[in-house]
């Protein structure tokens, strides 16, 4: 059989609430045209993020009942620790309330003003947490990967010659770590090849610089390697993931992505001294090292999710369903980041709306219009989010795991094609108020 089906059935349903076009116009005005400031109840299909929005399985809910809420030494922590160690091989597993807490602890311990941290592409919280320590965040994506239309199998790869040049210029002492983000979220959800990870590893090892994975979507990345990289077709996703982690010295992880959990994260390292400093800081702000700001039941949900996410039938469905959305809009003329990524489709709004200058946020304009037209929420990944660091003006449609069915996605396709048919009438926006950090979460706009 050719048809790829959702590899689950539905036991508990959540009704969707419809709004009228007049409601949505009023709600947009009230939210300052920032989709983060809308209430979730006013959204029909929410593609804002795949973070923390997964549907948990019966096994995860059952495990939550087993959650042990002891302050110290909970058996739930030991179950999580052994699940993470089996997958990653890292000696120290430090739970945190989400990925950015792991980043903040790692960077606070390791980074100083004058330091520079390369990444294939820094995610927004990663860049912000690094810059908050005074360190400089540098994105090293090869030039060909920046062309949104290039259909390369591993567009998330780090530019290794550029990494060598950066190390030669700044010296290894100024580089406290190199980070590779799998998959490359801000770069289009594109995978990183094993060959690239090995090449980065060779460079970092030669200069004794620790290599970290920002591992949020390790399973989706492993599936792409299995599908696309010669030599891995016969490997299980778990074997591929284990090899990816074996090349690194540590990782940060948001369990809100490839662990199907609604909250949680962790930080791993093999360095005993570093782990002790990290745990000291963890106690100060997150909690005791055997719960790290999470309930015992959350630790259980993560442990189970880390296993489920590597099931081949799940990953096949996951990557195929993202590709389904991407192909249906791209083949009808909507420019997307090619090829479709793992967790999201990114519409290249700069290319779709050439009449709106970047300083007037074309992807923001498209996102507002999709909500106005069909109640769909998406997120801008461009000049609103990254200011002058933005490489493209993208609108991300992130797909929550195991949540929406194919008919929901068909509705999204129809809405996008209808907006595309009258795209020349879309107008730009300007910012009227903004905070000092991560402005996209709370700034307000007005139409130009
Ligand atoms: C989500 C994400 C983070 C941050 O994790 P949170 O759990 O949202 O704090 C870091 N890096 C990448 C690549 C992410 O996608």
- Do the domains 21-50+311-447 and 58-308 sit in the same CATH topology, yes or no? no
Q: How many whole angstroms separate alpha carbon 333 and alpha carbon 362?
A: 17
Distance 127 CA to ligand 1 centre (A): 11
Q: Residues lining ligand 1, judged by CB closer than 6 Å? A: 51, 98-100, 123, 125-126, 181, 185, 214, 216, 254, 256-257, 265
Instruction: Mention every residue, 6+ apart, whose C-beta is less than 8 A from residue 382.
Output: 349, 350, 358, 361, 362, 363, 364, 390, 392, 393, 394, 395
CATH tag, 58-308: 3.40.640.10
Q: Which of 397, 290, 395 is nearest to 348 (CA)?
A: 395
Distance 217 CA to ligand 1 centre (A): 9
Distance 430 CA to ligand 1 centre (A): 27
Distance 197 CA to ligand 1 centre (A): 20
Q: 0.85 exceeded by the pTM? A: yes
**Is the confidence at residue 383, as pLDDT, over 80?**
yes
- DSSP class of 358: G
248's tokens: 């690194």
**Among residues of the chain, what percentage have pLDDT more than 90?**
94
Site to probe by mutation for ligand 1, drawn from 185, 187, 343 as the one with most ligand atoms within 8 Å of Cβ, is: 185
* Count of beta carbons in the 10 Å neighbourhood of residue 20: 9
Which numbered atom of ligand 1 lies nearest the CA of 264? 7
* Structure confidence by residue, pLDDT tens digits, 118-168: 999 999 889 999 999 999 999 999 999 988 899 999 999 999 999 999 999
pLDDT at position 387 is 86
CATH tag, 21-50+311-447: 3.90.1150.10
pLDDT at position 83 is 98
* Structure confidence by residue, pLDDT tens digits, 208-247: 999 999 999 999 999 999 999 999 999 999 999 999 999 9
Q: How many whole angstroms separate alpha carbon 107 and alpha carbon 404?
A: 36
- Which residue's CA is minimally distant from atom 12 of ligand 1? 123
Q: How many whole angstroms separate alpha carbon 133 and alpha carbon 128?
A: 9
pLDDT at position 1 is 87
Domain ranges of the chain: 21-50+311-447, 58-308
Distance 255 CA to ligand 1 centre (A): 9
pLDDT at position 436 is 84
pLDDT at position 151 is 94
- 188 pLDDT band, cuts 50/70/90, is confident
Distance 299 CA to ligand 1 centre (A): 18
* Count of beta carbons in the 10 Å neighbourhood of residue 119: 25
pLDDT at position 230 is 98
Distance 233 CA to ligand 1 centre (A): 28
Phi, psi of 250, rounded to the nearest 5 degrees: -175, 175
pLDDT at position 408 is 97
Which numbered atom of ligand 1 lies nearest the CA of 52? 7
* Count of beta carbons in the 10 Å neighbourhood of residue 316: 16
**Is the confidence at residue 186, as pLDDT, over 90?**
no
Average the pLDDT over 406-426 and give the result.
97
Which numbered atom of ligand 1 lies nearest the CA of 256? 7
């Amino acid at each position: 059989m050719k048809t790829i089906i959702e590899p689950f059935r539905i036991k508990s349903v959540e009704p969707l609430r419809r709004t009228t076009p007049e409601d949505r116009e009023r709600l947009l005005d009230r939210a300052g045209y920032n989709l983060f400031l809308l209430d979730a109840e006013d959204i029909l299909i929410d593609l804002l993020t795949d973070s923390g929005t997964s549907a948990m399985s019966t096994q995860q809910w059952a495990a939550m009942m087993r959650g042990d809420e002891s302050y110290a030494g909970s058996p739930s922590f030991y179950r999580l620790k052994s699940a993470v160690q089996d997958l990653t091989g890292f000696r120290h597993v430090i739970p945190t309330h989400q990925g950015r807490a792991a980043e903040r602890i790692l960077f606070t311990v390791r980074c100083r003003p004058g330091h520079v941290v390369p990444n294939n592409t820094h995610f927004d919280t990663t860049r912000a947490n690094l810059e908050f320590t005074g360190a400089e965040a540098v994105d090293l994506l090869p030039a060909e990967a920046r062309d949104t239309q290039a259909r390369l199998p591993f567009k998330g790869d780090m530019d290794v010659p550029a990494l060598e040049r950066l190390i030669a210029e700044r010296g290894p002492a100024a580089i406290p770590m190199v980070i590779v983000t799998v998959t490359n979220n801000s770069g289009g959800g594109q995978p990183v090849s094993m060959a690239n990870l090995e090449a980065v590893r060779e460079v970092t090892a030669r200069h004794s610089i620790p290599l970290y994975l920002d591992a949020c979507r390790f399973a989706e990345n492993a599936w792409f390697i299995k599908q696309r990289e010669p030599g891995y077709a016969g490997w299980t996703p778990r074997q591929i993931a284990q090899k990816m982690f074996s090349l690194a010295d540590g990782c940060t992880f948001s369990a809100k992505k490839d662990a199907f959990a609604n909250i949680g994260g962790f930080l791993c390292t093999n360095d005993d001294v570093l782990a002790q400093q990290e745990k000291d800081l963890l106690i100060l702000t997150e909690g005791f090292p055997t719960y790290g700001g999470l309930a015992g039941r959350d630790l259980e949900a993560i442990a189970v999710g880390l296993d489920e996410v590597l099931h081949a039938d799940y990953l096949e469905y996951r990557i195929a369903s993202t590709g389904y959305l991407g192909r249906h809009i791209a083949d009808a003329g909507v420019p997307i980041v090619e090829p479709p990524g793992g967790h999201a489709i990114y519409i290249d709004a700069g290319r779709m709306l050439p009449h709106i200058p970047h300083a007037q946020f074309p992807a923001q304009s498209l996102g507002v219009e999709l909500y106005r037209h069909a109640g769909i929420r998406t997120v801008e990944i461009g000049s609103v989010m990254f200011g002058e660091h933005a490489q493209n003006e993208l609108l991300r449609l992130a797909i929550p795991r195991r949540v929406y069915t194919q008919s929901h996605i068909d509705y999204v396709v129809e809405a996008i094609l209808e907006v595309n048919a009258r795209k020349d009438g879309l107008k730009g926006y300007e910012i009227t108020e903004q905070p000092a950090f991560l402005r996209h979460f709370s700034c307000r706009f007005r139409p130009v």
